[in-house]
Structure 1
Amino acid sequence: MSLQQTFPQFLDARSFCRLWHGLDKLDEQALQKQERVRGYRAKCVRLLAFALNLQLDTVERWGEGVEFERMPIKHQATLALRWQIKTLSSSLAA
């Protein structure tokens, strides 16, 4: 199985945060509830800034809520790679 079949080539900010925080296994209603928890957006901003080696205020300017709709597309490829690395390292450690 190739990596392209296993992992996405691009990952938007919201999906990356959901995966990283383990929310991808929740049903849609529970997922939306978790995304509305106080402090969740701030956690995502910090995570994205760290994962992309950017300043917090840069990530903050990408939009309201957890959509980050103004995130440049080039960062979606980096997030996909970060997710691949995390997943593969977890697999190797197990």
Structure 2
Amino acid sequence: MNHYNTLKILPTQGLEPRQFLRYCFGIAELSPPELLEEETDSQYRKKCITVLCAVLGVQRPTVRKWGSDLNFDGIPNYCKISLAYIHAAEIIPNQLKSILIGEYNAPEVDAQTFLERILLEGLTEQQILQTVSHANFRATCVKTLTQVLHIGTKSVQDWGQDMSFHKMPKIHKHTLGYALAAISKSSKAWDKQAA
């Protein structure tokens, strides 16, 4: 599998929280007056915080620190990338009910599993051996993670010296899970289109 083509399936831009939440609650297509009515509902912001906490695997105080309005302007860019992957994978609105009642578990994929799926899946044992023993393999792993997570190279390098990147924060494991879900969803759509 050519991993560069696989990664091209992923959205390259993050999704703003307000727009993401409008998609979640099925109100993105409403007129401005209707949007205003929905977004000024007394429980709307609370539900928005619940959704962001559940899908990103963060605590309520963290989301509240991102802003006091519905734009959540303080959200890190890498979280916006996660939101774009979630949207591409069409996880919500299917999971909205389980999220709102606290039964949703965000997917978690560790770096090694992700890298094996992207870089090694579909190769023969001989090809895998050649690939992992190549001098540039670690650099390829770092580049792949920085590209998918939209974070700096130094951060990724600091997570460990081997393919497991065992010091990678949990929030990024969720992003990798959503990235695989988006790739899977897009691949299925691509296969249907090609048939």
Same fold (TM over 0.5): yes
Residue-by-residue CA offset, 1:25-78 (whole Å, 9 max, x unaligned): 101111111100011001000100111111111001111121101111110000
TM-score (norm 1): 0.82
Distance, in Å, in 1 between the alignment partners of 2:70 and 2:84 is 17
Gaps of 5+ in 2: 1-7, 92-184, 190-195
> Is 1:68 aligned to 2:72, yes or no?
yes
Residue type of the partner of 1:85?
A
> Is 1:78 aligned to 2:82, yes or no?
yes
Residue-by-residue CA offset, 1:8-39 (whole Å, 9 max, x unaligned): 73101111100110011101111111100011
Q: How far is 1:3 from its partner?
A: 4.3
- Percent identity, aligned pairs only, is 28
Paired position in structure 2 for 1:34: 38
Gaps of 5+ in 1: none
Size of the aligned set, in residue pairs, is: 88
TM-score (norm 2): 0.41
Runs of 4+ in 1 over 3 A off after TM superposition: none
- Match of 2:28, SS state, is helix
Q: Give me the CA root mean square deviation.
A: 2.3
